[in-house]
Amino acid sequence: MKSYILVSSDIKINSPDDIQVSSIYGIYQKRKKAIYEAILANKNKQYNIYEIDLINNKITNIFLFDGKDKFIDSNKNIHKLDLNLESIMRF
């Protein structure tokens, strides 16, 4: 089971144990919802998204905010919020 956690980009995180409660903006089960919330949150302060495997307690992917409206993950894939009606209805 995966969760997506929005964490302040000011904090260096190497494992899930490094995440401090005070640095968490939100916890989400769906990636699209996490990206949507992160884009809104990044207007005030910069947050990154950490994909965490809850069963193994490991970070499986990190989505870094590019400063505009996209996130670049650990594999250099670009993730951008698709704002069509179908994707909004799903999350």
pTM of the model: 0.82
Parse the chain into domains and list their residue ranges: 2-90
23-36 pLDDT per residue, tens: 899 999 998 889 88
d(CA 11, CA 34): 18
Q: Which of 66, 5, 67, 62 is nearest to 30 (CA)?
A: 5
d(CA 4, CA 2): 7
51-77 pLDDT per residue, tens: 999 999 999 999 988 877 788 888 888
Q: Give the residue-averaged pLDDT of 17-28.
A: 90
